[in-house]
Structure 1
Amino acid sequence: MKQKIYITLLLLGIVFCSQMGYAQIDYNKTPDDDLGEVEDLEQEYFFEALKQKGIENYDRAVTALLKCIDLDDSKSVFYFELGKNYNKLKNFGAAEDALKKAVKMEPDNEWYLDELYDIYAQQNEYDKAIKTVKQLVKYHPDYKEDLATLYVRIKKYDDALEILDEMDEEHGLSPTRDLLRNQIYELTGRKKEQIENLEDRVEDNPDEESNYLALIYRYSENDEKEKAFETAKKLLEIKPNSQLVHLALYKFYLDDNDPEKAIESMKIVLQSSHIKPEAKTLVLVDFVNFVSQNPQYEADLVEATAMITDENSETSYLEVAQYFLKKDDKVKALEYYNKALALNSDSYGILRNILLLQIDLENYEQAEIQSRDALEKFPSQPLFYLINGVALNKLNKPKDAIDALEMGQDYIIEDPKMQAQFYNQLSTAYTLLNNTSKAKTFSDKAKQLESSN
């Protein structure tokens, strides 16, 4: 709904300045009525109403406005303000009555009609809303879009499309109107008509990239992949520097068994500054899956990942780390997890994966340092105490390992498997200290938990 620009002070001028043209007052004449006193009261109540509305005391504003109307029921602005306050109170019936009186007094007042339209819209009274909007259209063409939306609500889709066509013709294309148009096509299943509309746009505006992209999407959605591919190639011919078209092209090239061109398109997408990070992530996932099946292109994947410099780099590094992890290349996986950690040092998941890899790779000094740092950020995570204890045992620091493990046990909650791992590491630490009695005690506890699970 178009934003109201009604200015209260202007209305006050309309209401009250017209009262200033009185005949010159004869101060020697004895007053024969109380007209001046009534006018003073009107202004006093009206200003009180505006003040109360301003501090959201709508009930009091209504009371003051009703007093205004009791004094003079010929001013439309009193009914207009009364309707607005009833609207705020969600008393829609009273609001409608008041606003209809205001409109009856001034049938061409845009602001009165707009407020009445708002009442109908809130109550989903679409027929009344349509009747009111049709009156408003002559003041502002923007209301046509409201009218089209209302027609959709009452399932008059042809009428809505007719209005959208008119507006596109008069004002050019609009994303909001396109959204409504696509909603209509979706509701009515008119995919063919939707595609024809886009084909006409491409023909009428052959240099407009967005039309091609929308048509490519709709062709693909309609399983007309050949037409989609041809449209994408046509766009590339017309706009060889287009980056967005490669979001579609790389998939077509993959389906067409042309991996070299597919990789080229994926690289363009991943280093583009015009493509959203979320879209890049989807492309990277496809890239990773492709390289999983075609490992000879692994170098291209690594190169493409290095091109990503936006805020989604963390996700990209994690995808590549997972790829190398599945290949059991833990060194490469660790490299990419560390890159992701450099971008998000507070990620528990990334820290966990790094520390587990450090242990697997027998990088015990690094594991001890990083697990100690991790505990400063996550002091209640038992896994980090366990990893720290494992690393300290491997570094032949059993006393420090016992301190870490005993502290970490306090944070284990109903996890017998982890508790058994703590007991095993405590057994190892006491073995290193030649305390065989305690070593056996913890070893027995670990075995008991392991056998019960």
Structure 2
Amino acid sequence: MIIQILVKMSKIYIFLFFTSVLFAQDSSMNRQDRKYCNTYFLAEKYKMLDDYELALKKYMECIKLYPDEPSAYFEVAKILFANSNYEDAITYVNKAAEIEPNNKWHLFLLIQLYSSQFDYESEAKTWENLLEIEPFNIEFYFDCAIAYLEMGDLKKALKTLSNYEKNVGYNEDIFSLKSKIFNEQEDYKKQVKVLEKGIAIFPNSILLLEDLAKYYIQKSEYDLANSIYSKIVKINPNNSTALLASYTILKNKNRTEDSKKILKKVIDSPNINEQKKQEILYEIMVKEEELNFYYNDIPYLFESCISLYPQSSFFYTVLADFYSLDKQYLLARDNYFKALQLEKNSSVIWERYIYMSLLQNNYNQAVIDSDLAIEKFPLQGSFYYYKGLSQFYQEKYRSAVATLNSGLLYIIDDNWLLTVVYETLGNAYHELAELDSSQEYHNMSDESYEKALSYSPNNPYILNNYSYYLSLRGENLQLAKDMIEKCISLSTSPNPSFMDTYAWVLYKLENYTEAEKIIKKCIDFGGNSAIIYEHYGDILMGLGLTNKAILQWEKALEKEPLNNDLKQKIFKSKND
């Protein structure tokens, strides 16, 4: 604040110094002249000090002394304008203009005042006055025409532009504005004619070519519009308007190789901003038809953006999503990693990054990365789930149980996550029960499945697993039957694994005839694992068909030659 005051004071001292020199040198000034000058300079001093009230008072004294001197009127008008006293400001600046009609600064201020009051008619007349002073100034013609357009007088606007062409010559901005006026008048023939004339004179005018292309789009003549945009791209290969318009036109027509070529130009162009490219690529990724068409070009498109915007995590992340969709999990993980270097605090990217290790069956890495994520996000239950799931696949069931139970402390109102955590707990407790035949673990497994189903009662995989594990133990078989029947009814297509469970539950219920029907369907629909053939043999044995049972067990043994229990079962049946 002190610096500003010193600067202002220095200006005043310089001003007063020069005025004192002026007075000293001009001895021809009479008393009234000196009084006027002294009063005017005092007004200027008060204005510099932002004391507009005193400045206004002194300027008014100047007007009384010399009512035919325009400067004081002009300064009064500026102060009144600054204080939003538009009506009086117009009066004073008009007086200055009457006294000195060829002073364009008076007219500029008058135009500002009329424009602020939306008095376009008076503004246009003032521009006409300026044109009398400077008849070759293109900006005056242009602004005058705009004022007429604002007041809705299209004819006068056109006349003003035509006057420019007569007095000065042709200009592409004038052609462009005339075309817009004809468009407003819905005189499309004249619009096209004026644009074609302008393009003939200025063949490389991007402005006029864009106007013509927009006209064709307005008339739904997209092929003609695209041909014009192609000309623009030849003149300026990185013209963002032409590239984007061509891409939009081709995208909405039958997709061809031209669509891919223009999209690559859009993506490669440094003149099209990053946000627009994000929008285009995101739209492609979320629309199945678009994604299928550009599928093979996706890596190029994203790599091009990465080279232009290496600090943007968006392109790394979405490219990783694409590689994940394409089951290229190593590439997906690599790009998620690069995205994390730019956005280390994104829990979403961390989740996807860890999930890629799970999909690669790289459970050690998934555990390591989950621990890193837990350090960053200790209250986020999803990372405990990924770690616990990885430990389950590592057959570290006790560790998995501990990790998953820790994660439950941080999961609130997330039904999906609660479902999968309890499902994995159910699987882990079952495996622990298999290791030491503990009924306690079986009970905890059942409780976990029940909780999982309370959050997701129509989850077919939980229904299947819970039903199967009950059937293995021979417990709650009616519940097991109800669950697997519900599971199969929810499935949209035949699932051999579900059918095998159903057949096994029926076997445990000693309904061998129905069990045989279901296991046959299971095999018909592609079930061919060792356990399915073993179950088939057990069902046939239940029906008393020993030889047929042995045949199925032998098929199972071919798929699992180290299964000693199965070998013993075949040996015993053959020798009984």
Kindly indicate whether the alpha-carbon contact (under 8 Å) linking 2:90 and 2:113 is maintained by their aligned counterparts in 1: yes
Instruction: Give how far 1:389 is off.
Output: 0.9
Identity of aligned residues (%): 14
Q: Distance in 2 between matches of 1:87 and 1:403?
A: 72
Q: Does 1:392 align with 2:362?
A: no
Matching residue of 2:59: 99
String of CA shifts for 1:35-59, please: whole Å, max 9, x gaps: xxxxxxxxxxxxxxxxxxxxxxxxx
Kindly indicate whether the alpha-carbon contact (under 8 Å) linking 2:270 and 2:308 is maintained by their aligned counterparts in 1: no
Kindly indicate whether the alpha-carbon contact (under 8 Å) linking 2:243 and 2:265 is maintained by their aligned counterparts in 1: no
Instruction: Tell me the TM-score normalised to structure 2 length.
Output: 0.57
Q: Distance in 2 between matches of 1:423 and 1:288?
A: 45
Instruction: Give how far 1:380 is off.
Output: 0.9
Q: Does 1:403 align with 2:368?
A: yes
SS at match of 2:367: helix
Matching residue of 1:182: 146
String of CA shifts for 1:158-180, please: whole Å, max 9, x gaps: 33322212323542344477346
Q: Distance in 1 between matches of 2:48 and 2:256?
A: 64
Residues 88 and 9 of structure 1, relative CA distance in 2, 3 Å threshold? closer
String of CA shifts for 1:176-196, please: whole Å, max 9, x gaps: 77346525532x333454345
Residues 181 and 282 of structure 1, relative CA distance in 2, 3 Å threshold? same
Instruction: For 1:16-165, list aligned pairs within 5 A.
Output: 16-18=24-26, 75-87=35-47, 91-105=51-65, 112-134=72-94, 135=96, 137-138=100-101, 140-153=103-116, 157-165=120-128
Specify every segment of 5 or more residues in structure 2 that has no aligned partner in the other structure, as ranges: 1-10, 409-415, 421-453, 457-576
Matching residue of 1:361: 326
SS at match of 1:207: coil
Q: Distance in 2 between matches of 1:305 and 1:167?
A: 50
From 248, 251, 266, the counterpart of 1:292: 251
Q: Does 1:15 align with 2:15?
A: no
Aligned residues: 390
Instruction: Give how far 1:324 is off.
Output: 4.1
Q: Distance in 2 between matches of 1:244 and 1:304?
A: 23
Kindly indicate whether the alpha-carbon contact (under 8 Å) linking 2:131 and 2:140 is maintained by their aligned counterparts in 1: no
Residues 322 and 95 of structure 1, relative CA distance in 2, 3 Å threshold? same
Q: Distance in 2 between matches of 1:204 and 1:98?
A: 44
Instruction: For 1:216-227, list aligned pairs within 5 A.
Output: 216-227=179-190
Instruction: Give how far 1:144 is off.
Output: 1.6
Q: Does 1:429 align with 2:390?
A: yes
SS at match of 2:104: coil
String of CA shifts for 1:207-236, please: whole Å, max 9, x gaps: 321111112223334544443233222322
Q: Which has the larger radius of gyration?
A: 2
Residues 284 and 431 of structure 1, relative CA distance in 2, 3 Å threshold? farther
Residues 117 and 234 of structure 1, relative CA distance in 2, 3 Å threshold? same
Residues 281 and 221 of structure 1, relative CA distance in 2, 3 Å threshold? farther
Specify every segment of 5 or more residues in structure 1 that has no aligned partner in the other structure, as ranges: 22-71
Q: Distance in 2 between matches of 1:223 and 1:438?
A: 77
Residues 339 and 89 of structure 1, relative CA distance in 2, 3 Å threshold? same
Q: Does 1:448 align with 2:418?
A: yes
Instruction: For 1:288-327, list aligned pairs within 5 A.
Output: 288-299=247-258, 302-303=261-262, 305-306=264-265, 309-312=269-272, 314=274, 317-318=277-278, 321-322=281-282, 324-325=284-285, 326=287, 327=290
Residues 181 and 256 of structure 1, relative CA distance in 2, 3 Å threshold? closer
Letter in 2 for 1:147: L
Instruction: Give how far 1:97 is off.
Output: 0.7
Instruction: Give how far 1:426 is off.
Output: 2.8
Letter in 2 for 1:163: T
Q: Higher relative contact order by CA 8 Å / sep ≥ 6: 1 or 2?
A: 1
Q: Distance in 2 between matches of 1:362 and 1:331?
A: 14
Instruction: Give how far 1:401 is off.
Output: 2.2
> Which stretch shifts more, 191-200 or 282-291?
191-200
Instruction: Give how far 1:313 is off.
Output: 5.8
Q: Distance in 2 between matches of 1:108 and 1:383?
A: 76
SS at match of 2:207: coil
Instruction: Give how far 1:382 is off.
Output: 0.9
Letter in 2 for 1:379: K
> Which stretch shifts more, 366-375 or 335-344?
366-375
CA RMSD in angstroms, aligned pairs only: 4.1
Instruction: Give how far 1:381 is off.
Output: 1.0
Q: Distance in 1 between matches of 2:395 and 2:126?
A: 89
Instruction: Tell me the TM-score normalised to structure 1 length.
Output: 0.70
Residues 86 and 248 of structure 1, relative CA distance in 2, 3 Å threshold? same
From 175, 180, 190, the counterpart of 1:212: 175
Matching residue of 2:439: none
From 200, 209, 212, the counterpart of 1:237: 200
